[in-house]
Amino acid sequence: MPRFPALLAIVFALAAGSLHAADDYDYDLVHSSVGFKARFLDISWIQGRFNDVSGKFSLDRKDPSKSTFSLTIKADSVDTANAARDEHLRQPDYFDTKQFPTIEFRSTAVKAIPDGYEVAGTFTMHGVTKPVTLTLVGGKEIEAMGKKRVGFGTELKLKRSDFNFDKGQIGNIGDEAIIVIDCAAQRD
């Protein structure tokens, strides 16, 4: 008899735990894009994108601080609509994709803001890891095409020189680059 309340407590605890469980989403490559742009001769923008991206988002809507975001970009998949330039960008003067095959973001702290989430984390590119804070706009879940979907958008400004890119190649293409992330994620 004295075992019953304890058992009940465990059941309630498990139920409460399941209610607070985070929703795990996979990055939806088809409906997402990770683009970038940098100044060309300081007269215009040169734009490109990464075609091979993966990621996982774990959203805890009750306790957003328990949410996590991770994104992995294959640097080799750089695409600026010019094959010769893409080959050039893959070489060590730029991304050095054989040495540093991935560009990664890993969240370390998440807090809810009115339009989405403010996510602090680490951004690793070209073998250098720096702390960054992203403002993810979005996060509303909808159900469409048989899956539950959520989307976010954000921009990240960074300097290539901070990530140990070859300083000799900073000139015609500006030091500052803007990474534009528009991503959708889905779960069953």
Q: Which is nearer to another protein, 88 or 187 (CB)?
A: 88
Q: Which is nearer to another protein, 7 or 84 (CB)?
A: 84
CA 88 to the chain's CA centroid = 25
Residue span binding another protein (CB under 8 A) among the ranges 8-16, 19-27, 77-85, 116-124:
77-85
CA 80, CA 168: separation in Å to the nearest integer?
Answer: 21
CA 22 to the chain's CA centroid = 18
Under the binding rule (CB under 8 A), the answer on residue 91 touching another protein is yes
Q: Of residues 8, 24, 54, 87, which one binds another protein by CB under 8 A?
A: 87
- Cβ partners under 8 Å of residue 82, min gap 6: none
Contact, 111 vs 64, CB < 8 A? yes
Q: Of residues 39, 49, 56, 85, which one binds another protein by CB under 8 A?
A: 85
State the minimum distance, in angstroms, from the CB of residue 17 to another protein: 38
CA 117, CA 150: separation in Å to the nearest integer?
Answer: 13
User: Which residues would be at the binding site for another protein (CB under 8 A)?
Assistant: 41-43, 82, 84-85, 87-88, 91-93, 96-99, 101, 127, 164, 166-169, 172
